[in-house]
């Protein structure tokens, strides 16, 4: 079973002493299951969807977690993770294409250029790399949650901390709940970046945990309904029309209560 180590320190210690105390332990089989589930959620489990550039977006999305990579030095409002993934792979002794080591920004100026290059060597080699490193990508996502929970707590008021700890404790009691936390933080972030706001309101993991009811008989369903509420609010607050994305987001989060992980 998936398990959380040192969770008790989150419940009883001040923030200054818990910054490094959150740890997730997965077997190799569980980590591989996580990789496949994230890939299915983000890219329908298709090799070609390891490198995509969605319509109406200013960046490509790469890997099982659709990690974004901006094509300019000036970054947009969403957290860029692909360069961090490349560094993580290199630190884990993975040989990556030489051009990835020297390219500071995504080497395609726009979506059209990206798809013109789709079958050429750069993107073909990149898809091969991403296909062969799925377990490491899953560990990269797990690492984000390990860092994300303490960061969320540190960015929260005392009353918010209490509610977040309660919900995290309930979710991490099951492997399905752990996957939900991992998937959502990769999907929509921690919810603490001031840039990731529409009309002052975020849509990340923090906001979903806070919107959950204090008492629930079904923690997975409670998370799904809260995520639906938070994502619907995002679309209502968005400066541009995001309604075409909402249906897919809802399908994703409403699968959470049906998960079964050994």
| pLDDT, tens only, 221-230 | 999 999 999 9
**Residues belonging to the chain:** 262
**Residue 208, both tokens:** 């979903």
Least confident of 24-28, 127-131, 138-142, 216-220: 24-28
- pTM (2 d.p.): 0.81
pLDDT in tens, 159-215: 999 999 999 999 988 889 989 999 999 899 999 999 999 999 999 999 999 999 987
Q: What residue spans define the domains of the chain?
A: 30-134, 155-258
- Give me the pLDDT at residue 64, please: 96
Q: Which residues of 198-217 are buried (b: 16+ CB within 10 A; e: fewer)?
A: beeebbbbbbbbbbbeeeee
Residue 103's SS3 state is coil
Question: Which residues on adjacent β-strands are paired with residue 246?
Answer: none
pLDDT at 37 over 70: yes
């Amino acid at each position: 079973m998936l398990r959380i180590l040192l969770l008790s320190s989150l419940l009883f210690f001040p923030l200054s002493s818990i910054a490094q105390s959150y740890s997730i332990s997965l077997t190799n089989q569980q980590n591989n299951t996580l990789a496949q589930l994230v890939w299915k959620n983000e890219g329908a489990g298709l090799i070609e969807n390891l490198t995509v550039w969605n319509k109406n977006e200013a960046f490509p999305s790469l890997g099982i977690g659709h990690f974004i990579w901006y094509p300019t030095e000036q970054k947009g409002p969403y957290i860029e993770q692909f360069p961090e993934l490349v560094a993580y792979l290199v630190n884990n002794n993975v040989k990556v294409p030489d051009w990835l080591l020297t390219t500071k920004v995504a080497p395609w100026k726009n979506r059209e250029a990206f798809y013109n290059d789709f079958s050429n060597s750069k993107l073909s080699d990149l898809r091969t790399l991403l296909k062969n490193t799925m377990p490491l990508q899953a560990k990269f996502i797990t690492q984000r949650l390990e860092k994300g929970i303490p960061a969320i707590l540190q960015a929260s008021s005392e009353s918010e901390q209490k509610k977040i700890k309660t919900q995290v404790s309930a979710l991490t009691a099951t492997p399905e709940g752990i996957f939900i936390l991992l998937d959502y933080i990769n999907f929509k972030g921690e919810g603490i970046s001031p840039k990731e706001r529409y009309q002052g309101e975020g849509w990340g993991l923090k906001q979903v945990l806070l919107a959950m009811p204090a008492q629930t008989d079904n923690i997975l369903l409670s998370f799904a309904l809260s995520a639906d509420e938070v994502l619907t609010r995002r679309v209502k607050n968005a400066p541009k029309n995001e309604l075409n994305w909402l249906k897919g987001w809802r399908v994703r989060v409403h699968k959470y209560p049906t998960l079964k992980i050994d």
